[in-house]
A = this chain, B = another copy of it.
Amino acid sequence: MTSKDEPRSREAVKAALGAQTVETPSWAYANSGTRFKVFAQPGVPRTPFEKLDDAARVHAHTGVAPAVALHIPWDRVDDYGELAAHAAKLGLRIGTVNANVFQDDDYRLGSVTNPDPAVRRKAVRHLLDCVEIMEATGSRDLKLWFSDGTNYPGQDDLRTRQDRLAEALRTVYDRLGDGHRMLLEYKLFEPAFYATDVPDWGTAYAHCLQLGPKARVVVDTGHHAPGTNIEFIVASLLRAERLGGFDLNSRFYADDDLMAGAADPFQLFRIMYEVVRGGGLTPDVAFMLDQCHNIEPKIPAIIRSVMNVQEATAKALLVDPEALAHAQRTGDVLAANGVLMDAFNTDVRPLLAEVREEAGLDPDPMAAYRRSGWAERIVSERIGGEQAGWGA
């Protein structure tokens, strides 16, 4: 597909939608919550294997969610090969491996940027372990999000922490295998409240440039300051060939982690438009969900999120590139905006139903899941054991 000039046929749009994949996160199938309360849900998985079972249902009904992200240690198992085999058996594959260096008491003052070199070594060891897990599971991408930062001015030296960060990233980068990539995530704040060590795309980008071509930036749609134009960042990173992927979710306020497309569907459309326009609708860019469903049931919420991403993508694909380019070139502000809005205002649900039916799927994934009995089954079967959750 050309990126910018030719109008897309309905068939081309459908082909692009059929080829799109959305990676779902293992942790979204487990219990989660806010700092105030984790509301446990009946039937949530107790093991990484059960998380994959649930993910398989999302893929079964949507047809576009074959990859599942792991979070280590939340998804720690004795035999990662067995986990990957379980995924394969379910028609799934392991997506990104997400390192977690924020839930050990040692990390109170940071992980790879901790003032204590022993803690930094421990954190780096965990990251290197994650590379081993990538090898064992066939994962391509190591996703790094650091909660590192400080709560008070003066607490630690901002610049020295960047030096420590650069050193740790270098060590891990050098350990990556052929075909591996490092995806570096940024986040404005939380859990650090004064300064976060990778707070914005500029910081992530600068580190990636230093590291080399395998290092790419991840855009989490919930990790920006109010008012940030996220699609501009997406366009810039695609232009610089440094967009590694997305953590999709919704926010009204902070890192709310609501379902993707729930809070601002127009924004998600604008982001997907820049993806399409910048040639980013390829496997080089990982479209991951990263969200928490605190009050709604897990699996249907993920299905809805996947569908919301598909709808935004469909609308983005429907933008008429020729008409848009003409209006832009001639400085016709209203016409150019109108071309974009025509696509956004289109009801793409029938088109996506068609895509699904042609792929042998039910046109309505939500209803199909409801009818499947899976929700009732996991509630009745998953008795005993400890439910998975953040920190579990």
Beta-carbon nearest neighbor of A228 in chain B: B225
* A372 at interface, CB cutoff 8 A: no
Contact residues in B for A162 (Cβ distance below 8 Å): 235-236, 239
* A157 at interface, CB cutoff 8 A: yes
Contact residues in B for A347 (Cβ distance below 8 Å): 345-347
Picked from B163, B188, B300, B328, the residue with its CB within 8 Å of the CB of A157 is B328
- Smallest Cβ distance from A79 to chain B, in angstroms? 28
- Smallest Cβ distance from A193 to chain B, in angstroms? 4
A330-353 residues with Cβ-Cβ distance < 8 A to B are 330-331, 333-334, 336-341, 344-347, 349
* A247 at interface, CB cutoff 8 A: no
Structural contact, B229 and A151, CB atoms closer than 8 A: no
Structural contact, A190 and B253, CB atoms closer than 8 A: yes
* A33 at interface, CB cutoff 8 A: yes
Structural contact, B191 and A37, CB atoms closer than 8 A: yes
Picked from B35, B40, B274, B340, the residue with its CB within 8 Å of the CB of A35 is B35
Bound Cα distance from A224 to B254, whole angstroms: 13
Contact residues in B for A327 (Cβ distance below 8 Å): 154
Contacts A154-B340, A155-B336, A294-B151 given; does A226 touch B229 at CB 8 Å:
no
* A53 at interface, CB cutoff 8 A: no
Instruction: Give per-residue flags for A281-316: 1 if the beta carbon is below 8 A from chain B beta carbons, else 0.
Output: 000000000000011110011001000000100000
Structural contact, A345 and B311, CB atoms closer than 8 A: yes
Contact residues in B for A265 (Cβ distance below 8 Å): 266, 344
- Smallest Cβ distance from A121 to chain B, in angstroms? 16
Bound Cα distance from A195 to B156, whole angstroms: 34
Contacts A264-B266, A334-B301 given; does A34 touch B190 at CB 8 Å:
yes
Contact residues in B for A277 (Cβ distance below 8 Å): 157, 159
Structural contact, A37 and B252, CB atoms closer than 8 A: no
* A30 at interface, CB cutoff 8 A: no
- Smallest Cβ distance from A7 to chain B, in angstroms? 16
Contacts A254-B190, A258-B193 given; does A108 touch B236 at CB 8 Å:
no
- Smallest Cβ distance from A319 to chain B, in angstroms? 8
Beta-carbon nearest neighbor of A343 in chain B: B154
Contact residues in B for A191 (Cβ distance below 8 Å): 33-37, 294
- Smallest Cβ distance from A249 to chain B, in angstroms? 11
Bound Cα distance from A283 to B390, whole angstroms: 43
* A205 at interface, CB cutoff 8 A: yes
Besides A158-B231, A159-B239, A162-B235, 9 other CB < 8 A contacts? A33-B35, A34-B190, A37-B391, A151-B296, A154-B328, A202-B205, A209-B209, A345-B347, A345-B349
Residues on A facing B (Cβ under 8 Å): 33-37, 39-40, 102-103, 105, 107-109, 115-116, 147, 151-159, 162-163, 188-191, 193-196, 199-203, 205-206, 209, 224-229, 231-233, 235-236, 238-240, 251-254, 256, 258-259, 262-266, 270, 274, 277-278, 294-297, 300-301, 304, 311, 319, 324-325, 327-331, 333-334, 336-341, 344-347, 349, 366, 390-391
